[in-house]
Structure 1
Amino acid sequence: MARTAVPPKKTIVKKMNYLTGFLLGFGLLLSGCNKDDDGVTKPDGPDPNAANLDVQDFMYKAMNLWYFWQGEVDILADDAFATDAEYTDFLEANPNPETFYFDVLLFSDDRFSFLSEDYKELTQNLSGISQNNGMEFGLVAFSNSDDIFGYVRYIIPNSDASTKNIERGDIFIGVDGVTLTRNNYTELLFGDNATYTLTMANITDGQISANGEEVTLTKEEGFQENPVFITKTFDVSGTKIGYLMYNGFTNEFDEQLNEAFGQLKADGATELVIDFRYNGGGSVNSSRLLSSMIYGTNTNELYIRQRWNDKIQAAFSPSDLEDYFAATTGSGTPINTLNLSRVYVLTTSSTASASELVINGLDPYINVIQVGTTTRGKNEFSLTMVDDPNRQGAPYIYTPSRENNINPDNSWAIQPLVGRNENSVGFSDYTGGFAPEIELQEDLENLGVLGELDEPLLARAIQEITGAGAKFDFTVEMPAEAFTSSKMFSPLKDNMVLDKDFYLPEIQ
């Protein structure tokens, strides 16, 4: 069935996205000051007698080669500068790296490209292991002030929060005795403080007020969440309905994901509800494996293909860009597939990137029915780029083995969008997100228990599967309209991780 994508949002939000994978065997070389094959003169570099322009020079040249919208940004055109002097003047006119990157080099529709002043910090964070206390939450703004409040979405097992008196649906309005606002929540909740104390609150008749309780949480270094959160099979009026809550496409847990489907298969599940409501994405390959577990393992059927800018696209053969359904995991374990003709997916605005990729990649093959609210609309992937222009075959692309080759005078990294994934029929235009067939918001006054039959979103999906009459009241009294969440401050955020190898011929 054809998906419905809502119109793109006008607000430009700069987020970070990550493409990993070792770009081996590349013949990519940057042109110097000589003319390229089309007779276009490119600057060799800024005047060596000018002020240090290493940061701007690196950013510009990396974006000129790799950026997805390189052809749409006039200043990134190959013939934008006729001489090195002209190029030098341009760089000198933009001394602030952040302003240069965001306001000069980025395309107006780019909502997710990002940068970091310290590539080591960035690449370490992108490992997916972080400092975490185990409480995942959303933040909601009060309508009549700058004050905000948080609500607990779920507690990660074996975390500090799992040992405390706090659970899904709990409300908090302050940290360390300070009321949460739009101006201070980042420092209070995501700052350097490893331990903080929450001021808890209750909802009464739609009003939120402190209840006199406090909960102290401590972040654990090196904490890693198992994204395979809940696996269950329900027998509802003789129909075996599988339920999987999957909270992140982390390829280190692909085997556990396959085992979960083995459990669903052994239980005899003939219907499936996948819960992506808090899944911001991650590994593209994990999305391919999950889709194969849902639909099937025919390795001749195309799952997705990548699309780059015109320069990079022309260097690939079509087969280099294609990803097919899988028969085994990366470790060689046979895929446990349910061979379904339809799947129900629970979504919210926190559903992004690889989660949306599953929806889009499966859509040409099976009926994908969304229950919840519109997804975020994150359909591009990116590369981590550093000042390493001489990396053979992949200039500027970060790889740990070449840290000694990175310009020691330039620690900046950029994370630009460099490509987009499209499904087997060529559709990729969902920058406004996928709208649900069955709209139902989460209700702060009735979030329910995840994985239980009376949890509203799951109950609504099961009602649709069975066709049973309304046993639940799905009226939403207080919508959980979060403007951000704890996951947006985690290392992977809503990133698209394209974990595959590429081999390109030389292009000039």
Structure 2
Amino acid sequence: MNKYPKFLLLFIAIGLFLTNCSNDDDIVPVVEPEQEEPKTAEDYPVQDFMWQTLNFWYFWQENVPNLSDSKFDSLEDSEYIDFLASENDPAEFFNNKLRFSEDRFTFFSDDYVELTQSLAGISKSNGMEFGLVRYGDGNDVFAYVRYIAANSDAATKDIKRGDIFIGVNGEKLFSDRNNLENNNFDLLFGPNSDSYTLNMADIVDDEITPNNQEVNLTKISNFAENPILLDTILNIGSSKVGYLMYNQFLNEYDEELNDVFGRFRDGGVTDLVLDMRYNPGGSVNSARLLSSMVHSTDTTNLFIKQRWNARIQSLLNENQLVDTFADFTDAGTPVNTLSLSKVYVLATNSSASASELVINGLAPYVDVIHIGETTTGKNEFSLTFVDDPDNPNGPWVYSSNRENQINPNNSWAIQPLVGRNENADGFFEYTEGLVPDIPLREDLEDLGVLGNPDEPLLARAILEITGSASAKNDFSVKMPIDAFTGSQMFTPLKDNMFLDKDLGIKPIH
């Protein structure tokens, strides 16, 4: 006979079951970690774009081990991905991993819209262009006004060529002589510099001396500066001297430039003074057109020949590698040429790239009388690249009609040096600058008025042309200007020389 009632046995069984369930609650379940998706090049779009573009186009590709064609077995393997991930900041990645050590001029921007607008001369500006000069024994800096652009904010204010300022918003300007990056130029060019107050100075007994005067300036968005600052015909004795102050090579103004030479031609100009003393460069094609306006429209004569890296050189045919003098502008207008065999060029250490290209390109055909200083020494040209690998004009080359094809996850642009131009004599090696035939520096105490026959550099050219220099006969320099940089070097365009012609290199993908 069973000793325990059935209901009691059932009660004990239920209790044991609940006890076991309670013990199970104390057991921590093992959770398998989620597998992280492996990284790909798409996780580093800027670095990937930079590497691929430079590997294909960079003039010094063969000189940079990290850009070697044999550096990576595949752009999908882990070694390449780890390389892209080695720098979080694309700027540091570019400078530390990809830049050739002797490359002084390649640059980049995290905003391709801003960069491409600058190639058309559009920027945020108050219209005051100036040079920066150190003075005294320390790191003090003063700025002198080179010129004021027309239709700008500065053109409405009490400030002119030759004026000097030593501070901004009450803070003195400085630049470390041993470390150019250590300065306070953000007061002039930084993100909070749309409006500022200049603290002016005078020259007193050959010293830069504050004068307690102030000038308030405001930058205008999307300001378009016409690079043709001044053109005039000077009647000097029996000579008709054309004078052109040209401050940047911008193809948007090629038609206006051609009109200037039409006026020179119709006005009977016999001699030309081409003033590019502050011209940092720009469009190669505009340089070609200007040279044609000076000398010849004979399209059988070579103006320049391009040198690329070995890969690009092999992809282009002979016709694609050369540029002759031009007989028509890109708009189809006949080029107005003066057919000169001699030209007088005013150039300084602020004259660079396309300015130097004009001097070098004309040299085999024209007696170029260079008055001023040794130029910058920038003989390389560049292209603008964005993340558009399928552009039929060339992989990654920027085209304004393909902005909807640019990778929306990458707004960066790079402006690398991709080649050098040599003239018809094969000469291209002027990295130390082009040396003047007639050395003459600007004088802080006598800058003169641009276009006036007594302005020292122009007067020296007139002396060379006519044998007399009107009222100006003393070319001694009391306070020679030694500018270490200028306001144009803080724009996106800087001293860039960019190629603006279709190449037709097929995408590699």
Query: What range is the shorter-chain TM-score in?
Result: 0.7 to 0.9
How far the C-alpha of 1:291 sits from its partner, in A, is 0.7
Tell me the secondary structure at the aligned position of residue 189 of structure 1: helix
Structure 1 residues 387 and 159 mapped into 2: Cα distance closer, same or farther (>3 Å)? closer
1:174 corresponds to 2:173: no
The structure-2 alpha-carbon separation of the partners of 1:385 and 1:499, relative to structure 1 and needing over 3 Å to count, comes to closer
Cα contact 2:459–2:469 (8 A) shared by 1 = no
Q: For the residues of structure 2 that align with 1:164 and 1:412, how far apart are their CA atoms?
A: 36
Identify if the C-alpha distance between structure 1 residues 219 and 390 changes in structure 2 by more than 3 Å, giving closer, same or farther. Answer: same
Q: What CA distance in whole angstroms lies between the structure 2 residues aligned with 1:221 and 1:51?
A: 34
Q: Is the 8 A contact 1:129 1:491 kept in 2?
A: no
Q: Percent identity?
A: 58
Residues 77, 214 of structure 1: alpha-carbon distance in 2 compared, 3 angstrom cutoff: same
Give 1:321 shift. 1.6
The aligned residue for residue 74 of structure 1 is 65
Q: Are the equivalent residues in 1 in contact too, given 2:51–2:98 (CA < 8 A)?
A: yes
Deviation at 1:393, TM superposition (A): 5.8
* Alpha-carbon distance between aligned partners in 2 of 1:236 and 1:408, rounded to the nearest angstrom: 58
- 1:121–1:165 distance in 2 versus 1, CA, 3 Å: closer
Pick from 38, 44, 48 the counterpart of residue 57 of structure 1: 48
For 2:105 and 2:303, locate their aligned partners in 1 and report how far apart those are by CA, in whole Å: 24
The residue number in structure 2 matching 1:186 is 185
Shift of 1:404: 4.2
1:392-430, CA deviations, whole angstroms, 9 ceiling, x for partnerless residues? 563222334444443443333322111111111222111
Q: In the alignment, which residue of structure 2 is the partner of 1:48?
A: 39
Output one character per residue of 1:60-106: Cα deviation in whole Å (capped at 9) or x when no partner. Answer: 11111111111122221211234623333433434442222112211
Paired residues of 1:127 and 1:491 also in contact (CA < 8 A): no
Q: Could you tell me which residue of structure 2 aligns to residue 268 of structure 1?
A: 268
Q: Runs of 5+ in structure 1 lacking a partner?
A: 1-45
Q: How does the TM-score come out when normalised to structure 2?
A: 0.86
SS of the residue corresponding to residue 185 of structure 2 reads helix
Which residue matches 2:485? 484
**Structure 2 match to 1:119:** 112
3-state SS, counterpart of residue 272 of structure 2? strand
Does the 8 A contact of 1:315 with 1:505 survive in 2?
no
Cα separation, 2, equivalents of 1:365 and 1:270:
17
Contact 2:120 2:252 in 1 (8 A): no
**Partner SS for 1:137:** strand
- Whether 1:326 and 2:326 are equivalent positions in the alignment is yes
Q: Is the partner of 1:340 in helix, strand or coil?
A: coil
Q: Helix, strand or coil for the counterpart of 1:188?
A: helix
Within-5 A mapping of 1:118-157: 118-157=111-150
Deviation, structure 1 residue 456: 0.6
2:64 and 2:98 in contact (8 A); partners too: yes
How big is each residue's C-alpha offset from its partner over 1:228-267, in whole Å with a ceiling of 9 and x where there is no partner? 1222222323222221111111112112211211222222
Structure 2 CA distance, aligned partners of 1:252 and 1:389? 27
The aligned amino acid for 2:186 is E
Q: Structure 1 residues 237, 184: closer, same or farther in 2, change over 3 A?
A: same
Q: Does the Cα contact within 8 Å between 2:379 and 2:431 map onto a contact in 1?
A: yes
- Most deviating of 225-234 and 393-402: 393-402
Deviations 1:202-226 (CA, angstroms, capped at 9, x unpaired): 0012101111211111212222122
1:414-493 equivalences in 2 (<5 Å): 414-468=414-468, 472-493=473-494
Report the TM-score when normalising by structure 1: 0.86
Residues 398/450 of structure 1: CA separation in 2 closer, same or farther (3 Å cut): same
**CA spacing shift, 1:163–1:403, aligned 2, 3 Å:** closer
CA contact (8 A) 1:128 1:491 kept: no
For residues 415 and 421 of structure 1, the distance between their equivalents in structure 2, rounded to whole angstroms, comes to 17
Deviates most, 451-460 or 142-151: 142-151
Aligned to 1:16: none
The alpha-carbon deviation at position 47 of structure 1 amounts to 6.2
CA contact (8 A) 2:119 2:250 kept: no
Are the aligned partners of 1:173 and 1:210 in contact in 2 as well (CA < 8 Å)?
Answer: yes
Find the aligned partners of 1:196 and 1:461 in 2 and give their Cα distance: 38
Distance in 1 between the 2:508 and 2:409 partners? 28
Cα–Cα, structure 1 residues 61 and 206, in superposed 2: closer, same or farther, change >3 Å?
same
Q: Take 2:400 and 2:135, find their aligned partners in 1: how far apart are those partners? A: 44
How many residues align? The count is: 463
Distance 1:329 1:102, change over 3 A: same
Q: State the Cα distance separating 1:361 from its structure 2 match.
A: 0.7
| Worse-superposed segment, 317-326 or 89-98 | 89-98
Secondary structure, aligned partner of 1:452: coil
| CA distance in 1 between partners of 2:370 and 2:417 (Å) | 27
Of structures 1 and 2, the one with the larger relative CO (CA 8 A, separation 6+) is 1
Post-superposition shift, 1:506? Answer: 7.6
Contact 2:389 2:507 in 1 (8 A): no
Q: Which residue of 2 aligns with 1:3?
A: none
**2:153 is equivalent to residue 160 of structure 1:** yes
The alignment status of 1:102 with 2:95, answered yes or no, reads yes
Task: Please state how far the C-alpha of 1:462 moved relative to its aligned partner.
Answer: 1.3
Query: Highest Rg: 1 or 2?
Result: 2
Partners in 1 of 2:208 and 2:393 — Cα distance? 57
Shift of 1:339: 0.9
Report if aligned partners of 2:284, 2:500 keep a CA contact under 8 Å in 1: yes
CA RMSD in angstroms comes to 2.3
5 Å-filtered alignment, 1:187-202, equals 187-191=186-190, 192-202=192-202
- Aligned-pair distance for 1:488? 1.4
Q: Residue 334 of structure 1 aligns to a residue in which SS?
A: coil
Amino acid at match of 1:187: D
Distance 1:68 1:54 in 2: 22
How many Å apart are 1:347 and its aligned residue?
0.6
Q: Distance in 2 between matches of 1:253 and 1:146?
A: 39
> Who is 2:380 aligned against?
380
Q: Secondary structure at the match of 1:65?
A: helix
